[in-house]
Structure 1
Amino acid sequence: MSTTSDTASVTDYATEFAGRTALVTGAASGIGLATARRLGAGGANVVIADHNAEGAEKAAADLRAEGIEAAAVAVDVTSPESVAAAVAFAVDTYGALELAVNNAGIGGPSAPTGEYDIEAYDRVVSTNLNGVFYSLRHELPAIEAAGRGGAVVNVASILGSVGFAGSSAYVAAKHGVVGLTKTAAAEYAAKGIRVNVVGPGFIETPLLRTMDQEAYDGLVALHPAGRLGRSEEVAELIAFLLSERSSFVSGSYHLVDGAYTAL
């Protein structure tokens, strides 16, 4: 006879985020939008934050049409004041903030380190690293003030653990996001706030499909899985890390890369 209770609880994925509010940056498209949709499908109130105000409004409207509670706010993650306003918007709109996904980022140009444009370097680091710090700086106090604990997921990249020729600014920023995540996790663990980071491989997007076939095939070949990832696959990992299913997971870096970094 089994000793396992027949009434053991099973996670209800349709309600696991019910009553919680999630702020997602860079959520007008791609991984951010897929994540917002996944969290909303789990019952969360979702704030779509993006520098593209029109795109954010459209994304929020699309989610509302799917039955998800969603609102949009314009944000420039390179501005601490803009980030503070976005966090305040989430709190004012839904009463509290418990979940956050810091996904906004840019790629930047490709050039050897010794030839990399300094203004471009500053722009990439300002968005991809400073933007995550500014977000944490305002999200963490808001989550703490809500008094129910919470979780944050930062979106880094496979390039938070390995290098990539021609991408010194991006690689430096994403390595920094991993370290920033670990530090924040250690600081806020006793307050019931978990902070983790994900490292996606190359993800299928319409933009990548505009590449010539040889270049596209070269990207695919870097992944032993034999394909690029999908935004929804990254969103599913983020949802797990924000959920109570990962209640003892904090300060860690989780790859979703089709074995790219296993080589």
Structure 2
Amino acid sequence: MNKIDLSGKHAVVTGGSSGIGAAVVRALASAGASVTVMARKRYHSAGDSELYDDPKVEFIELDVSDGKTVTRVFADVAARKGIDISVLAAGLLLSGKVLDTDDETWRRTMAVNLDGVFYATRESIRHMMAQGRGGKLVSIGSIFGYRGCQGFAAYCTSKGGALNFTRQVAMDYAAHGINVNAVAPGFVHTAMTDIYDKEMKETLAAQTPNGKWGTSQQIADAVMFLSSSLADHIHGQSILVDGGWTLGVFAQR
């Protein structure tokens, strides 16, 4: 059995201070990597404050929608530690059909979920190329990069764009030893999905073939795989971690 060992690697994780991002930070650090968390807040809940008890983990304040700041912060981190792994977990979930979506909601969603992925990807690739030793880039997508969801016009559009962006960047930089992939979670218990009430959560679980919502750790496990040498021959893919939800309509028996 191959054990994932990331000793000697340095990873950056945008949106790494809570939810899926925080689970990814814990997983990468447990495999031996040093990790720089880039997020707007150091942590969002008391349960995530222990991230920084690990001396291998540091925090840098960053709003991924600010392109100039992304460029500066990535350059600083690359100069001090290098960038071997880049995980893009920053995201924003706002609801609304097209007629209910104002300009600010649309622009803010795109600024974080699409522009932020572009900025962080560009700087990750820039520094991985300069280092000359390849690298792993993994973005956190969504099942709604594959299909629509009623009432989430901006969110689904942003995730669909980011998914195709992953394919494009992977094609352009595979020859340089840089693996660009994504993980697309289904319904996962995080603060972001607290917009769903108990009844809706139960309905969505019932529509899922394995009958469950996922956990942040399950998403982090997929990210770990794509961040390791086990994924050296994988380019431009998105791993669906959704309990089978996207397979189609599930008839309960």
TM-score using structure 2 length: 0.91
Q: What CA deviation, in whole Å up to 9, does each residue of 1:82-106 have, x standing for no partner? A: 2112212322332x11110011010
Q: What is the CA distance between 1:18 and its match in structure 2?
A: 1.0
Verify: 1:62 aligned to 2:62, yes or no.
Answer: no
Aligned amino acid, residue 14 of structure 2: T
Distance change in 2, residues 1:208/1:136 (3 Å): closer
Hey, what's the Cα distance between the residues in 2 that align with 1:201 and 1:188? Answer: 28
Q: Answer yes or no: is 1:132 the counterpart of 2:123.
A: no
Contact 2:96 2:154 in 1 (8 A): no
Would you say 1:190 and 2:169 are equivalent positions?
A: no
Correspondence for 1:100 among 66, 73, 86 = 86
Report deviation, 1:207. Answer: 5.8
Separation (CA, whole Å) in 1 of partners of 2:116 and 2:47: 21
Return 5+ residue gaps in structure 2 as ranges.
249-253
- Separation of aligned partners in 2, 1:51 and 1:154: 18
Change (3 A) 1:207 1:12: closer
Q: Which of 36, 44, 64 matches 1:47?
A: 36
Unaligned runs of 5+ in 1: 1-9
Could you tell me how far apart the structure 2 residues matched to 1:240 and 1:32 are? 15
Tell me the distance in 1 between the aligned counterparts of 2:174 and 2:201: 41
Among 10, 19, 23, the alignment partner of 1:34 is 23
AA aligned to 1:30 is: G
Q: What's the CA shift for 1:11?
A: 2.7
Kindly indicate whether the alpha-carbon contact (under 8 Å) linking 1:23 and 1:46 is maintained by their aligned counterparts in 2: yes
| 1:60 and 1:70 in contact (8 A); partners too | no
| 1:91-133: CA deviation from partner (whole Å, max 9, x where unpaired) | 2332x1111001101001x222233222101110111011100
Q: C-alpha separation between the residues in 1 aligned to 2:134 and 2:148?
A: 35
Distance 2:173 2:48 in 1: 30
Whether the 8 Å contact between 2:145 and 2:161 is mirrored in structure 1 is: yes
* 1:219 matched residue in structure 2: 204
Q: For residue 3 of structure 2, what is the aligned residue in structure 1?
A: 12
Q: What is the CA–CA distance in structure 1 between the aligned matches of 2:141 and 2:175, rounded to whole Å?
A: 24
What is the TM-score of this pair, normalised by structure 1?
Answer: 0.88
Task: Report the Cα distance in structure 2 between the residues aligned to 1:124 and 1:234, rounded to whole angstroms.
Answer: 22
Paired residue secondary structure (2:233)? coil
1:33 touches 1:59 (CA, 8 Å); kept in 2? no
Alignment partner of 2:238 out of 238, 249, 253: 253
Inter-CA distance 196–38: structure 2 relative to 1 (3 Å threshold): same
Larger radius of gyration: 1
Letter matched to residue 122 of structure 1: R
Percent identical among aligned pairs is 33
Q: What SS does the aligned partner of 1:19 have? A: coil
Deviation at 1:249, TM superposition (A): 0.3
**Cα RMSD for the two superposed structures:** 2.1
Cα deviation for residue 220 of structure 1 reads 1.8
What is the total number of aligned residue pairs between the two structures?
248
Which residue in 2 is equivalent to 1:4? none
